[in-house]
Structure 1
Amino acid sequence: MPAPSPASEPSSHLLVPFASASDPGARAALPQLHLPQLTALLAEWNLVYTDTGDDHTLSPPHERALAQASGVVRGDGCPFDDGQIPWAAAESTRPTEPQAWFTPCHFQVGMEQVTLLPGEQLDLSEAHSRALFEALAPYCAEDGITLTFVSPTRWHAQGEPLRGLACASLDRVAGRSVEAWMAESTANPAGAQLLKRLQSEAQMLFYTHPVHDAREAARLLPVNGFWVSGAGAFLKAPALPAAPTVSDALRRPALQADWAAWSLAWTTLDQHDIAAWRARAKRGEPLTLTLCGERTAQRWTNTHAGSALARLGRRISHLLGTPPAWKTLETL
């Protein structure tokens, strides 16, 4: 998923990824959340859209919601299939050329599963990342993929083998077993096999690289592979509208399963961003809020009447008392 770009005017749409999670620790933390601003906002605003899936889709709800709000659709106007939202191409000046993000990572091998830890959790320096990048780039070039260094935790890849791939978002697989997310690509099976081979080569290449020994000597987890995400291309160059403001406050604690930190981040988000959104709404600004869990994204606005069911729900809430926000978060 791309980072939100700064806008010259305040955004009218706030999108909150990881507002809820399926982890038992998150489910236990939800009833303890005290979010008065969000509780009031949900009672005042109208629910206008719900996108429901399951927690095994390759593209999580917040990426689907961001793609919809940002106009990231195929050239024929249809949404991209699961796992095929071309986030790398969306940030490129050549969006019709197939591209992807390569994320250096640590594959932690356990007794029953292999767990992925992304570069941002590895204290990965630019020097170490660049050295591994420079070692891998010639292998990619041999297979028609041009690799460009963007940051220590993000390498840009471009080439025909990346067209039509279905890839699990890094936000899906980080901190989890990779087996469930190793999807096959029916649209480009040759490209999928090529990338699997490249990942195997990277594992051996990085294991024998001096960076491996340097990191072990420093008691840092070694980088022993990379993850592919955001792959694909547009059918034609899109005209992308202004993207929503995306809050990343809940992302890191959620991916690290630190539910105490996640709860604290939610409290801070409620006191600042959500409170500011309510204040702007009271001044008459038309605004939108999208909350995303691991299965569902829901969108609220202060400008539309909403569905008959939503209006009925608000009337019942007024009679019975406003339900706490965590009850809504529990459904995401």
Structure 2
Amino acid sequence: MQIHLVLPGLLWPSATLLGPAADLALPGLHQLLGYGQRQIADFEPFDRQIARLFGLDTDPLPLGTLRRLGEPATMPAIDEDGDGEWLCADPVNLSFAREHLLLGEFPADDISAAEADELVAALNENFADIGRFEASTPTRWYVRLAQPTRAKLYPLHDVVGRPIKHFLPEGDDARLWQRTLNEVQIVLHNHPVSQAREAAGRRPVNSLWFWGAGQLETAPRTPMAAVQASDPVSIGLARAAGAQSSAPDPAQALAQDTLVVLDTLLRPSLQLDLDTWRNGLVALERDWFGPLAQALRSGRLQQLTLSAPGDRSTLQLRAGARDHWRFWRKPLTLDALLKSMAPPPAVQPTPDQPTQ
């Protein structure tokens, strides 16, 4: 029996600070890191790693269609072939920092359902030629395109906290989507909802971020007997593969071969929210790392594979039921691992010696 655990956000962004998990009691995780076989692989985005586990390696990946397919049953159903082409059209805030225009996400509880409904209605009134907008949650919006796009659109996770000028639409339809983005910003900036938010000292919803273009032309394949996930992309992949998915549950995961996607650390790591990230680690130790380490020691679990996509690289870990017998191996703290993965300090150039 085996479990594949995918943990985006486990690796705190390497360019920020050292010792983010200092003083946290994480014995289960530290045992797994120390006894298992570790490999540091090249950077690959979380969404692409998940899709590849399901046998999808196309470019572009139809992440908009897949995420929409994974939304709750309260949303109108779409066919497993994707029912056309969907884009994620997530509400964001653009703000200036010095000379750069930076993109920021909204926490799940920052936009009310009523605000989202009003803004989406305005988008449908002004951009019917583009497609039909809808909100699955107040912070996850979509547009079903009237015509497929050939533009290259960057995933939201790649852009958060960064200057958007490096991530504007590219490709054959780039001008269309750059112009649409500018027009959307005008409509949202001038909308009474955004004006009221700004007057109340809250960040306005002054832009959208379009991403996830592509059509689902090849059916995904289920990588393991069971899939556990709470993020809609993973759920959409499972549904498109004809597999049942359920919420992450350690006891149920130990009942059969299971792919488990735990994304609770992803948003705090992207937003550099250290307290939430540390609290999430403690919860994962209690619910997952500790029980899985014990299951390996008892032989109930034969193999655990852990994939942790980070901002510069990916940690791949494989731990077997016999690894704890390797007494010469010692537990490895997460902080020690992060320190070993951190880029070397920049070497300051020395001035040239004066010529004689």
TM-score of Structure 1 vs Structure 2, range by shorter chain: 0.7 to 0.9
Equivalent AA in structure 1 for residue 333 of structure 2: P
| Distance in 2 between residues matched to 1:150 and 1:11, nearest whole Å | 34
Residue matched to 1:173? 159
| Structure 1 moving runs of 4+ over 6 Å | none
> 1:133-148, aligned counterparts within 5 Å?
133-143=120-130, 145-148=131-134
- What's the TM-score once normalised by structure 1's chain length? 0.76
Residues 284-317 of structure 1: CA deviation (Å, up to 9, x unaligned): 3243221221122233334599xxxxx9xx99x9
Q: Does structure 1 residue 154 correspond to structure 2 residue 144?
A: no
- What's the TM-score once normalised by structure 2's chain length? 0.72
Q: Does structure 1 residue 230 correspond to structure 2 residue 212?
A: yes
Residues 34-83 of structure 1: CA deviation (Å, up to 9, x unaligned): 53211211233334x75403xxxxxx532222112233x1xxxxx133xx
The Cα shift of 1:215 comes to: 1.3
Larger Rg: 2
The Cα shift of 1:161 comes to: 4.7
> 1:241-280, aligned counterparts within 5 Å?
241=223, 242-243=226-227, 244-280=259-295
Q: Does structure 1 residue 196 correspond to structure 2 residue 178?
A: yes
Q: 1:151 to 1:324 in 2, by over 3 A?
A: closer
The Cα shift of 1:245 comes to: 2.2
The Cα shift of 1:33 comes to: 5.4
> 1:44-59, aligned counterparts within 5 Å?
44-47=35-38, 51-53=41-43
Q: Does structure 1 residue 65 correspond to structure 2 residue 46?
A: no
- Alignment length (residue pairs): 295
Counterpart selection for 2:199 from 200, 210, 217: 217
Residue matched to 1:56? none
In structure 1, list runs of 5 or more residues that go unmatched.
1-9, 54-59, 74-78, 306-310
Cα RMSD of the aligned pairs, angstroms, is 3.1
| Distance in 2 between residues matched to 1:129 and 1:11, nearest whole Å | 42
> Does the 8 Å contact 1:165/1:232 carry over to 2?
no
| Distance in 2 between residues matched to 1:70 and 1:182, nearest whole Å | 29
Q: 1:284 to 1:225 in 2, by over 3 A?
A: same
Equivalent AA in structure 2 for residue 107 of structure 1: L
The Cα shift of 1:163 comes to: 3.8
Equivalent AA in structure 1 for residue 46 of structure 2: H
Q: 1:213 to 1:324 in 2, by over 3 A?
A: closer
The Cα shift of 1:220 comes to: 1.5
Q: Does structure 1 residue 80 correspond to structure 2 residue 64?
A: no
Residue matched to 2:75? none
Residues 108-135 of structure 1: CA deviation (Å, up to 9, x unaligned): 1232111112232671111111111111
Residues 267-288 of structure 1: CA deviation (Å, up to 9, x unaligned): 3322332112223333432432
| Distance in 1 between residues matched to 2:268 and 2:106, nearest whole Å | 15
Q: 1:157 to 1:327 in 2, by over 3 A?
A: same
> Does the 8 Å contact 1:17/1:247 carry over to 2?
yes
Of Structure 1 and Structure 2, the greater helix share is in 1
Equivalent AA in structure 1 for residue 216 of structure 2: F
In structure 2, list runs of 5 or more residues that go unmatched.
70-77, 228-258, 343-356
Residues 139-170 of structure 1: CA deviation (Å, up to 9, x unaligned): 43213x22222121112222265544432222
Q: Does structure 1 residue 16 correspond to structure 2 residue 21?
A: no
Counterpart selection for 1:131 from 100, 114, 118: 118
The Cα shift of 1:251 comes to: 2.2
| Distance in 2 between residues matched to 1:324 and 1:208, nearest whole Å | 50
Equivalent AA in structure 2 for residue 87 of structure 1: L
| Distance in 1 between residues matched to 2:157 and 2:175, nearest whole Å | 23
Q: Does structure 1 residue 35 correspond to structure 2 residue 51?
A: no
Q: Does structure 1 residue 327 correspond to structure 2 residue 318?
A: no
> Does the 8 Å contact 1:167/1:183 carry over to 2?
yes
Name the SS of the counterpart of 2:166 in structure 1: helix
> Does the 8 Å contact 1:114/1:179 carry over to 2?
yes
> Does the 8 Å contact 2:198/2:204 carry over to 1?
yes
| Distance in 2 between residues matched to 1:14 and 1:162, nearest whole Å | 34
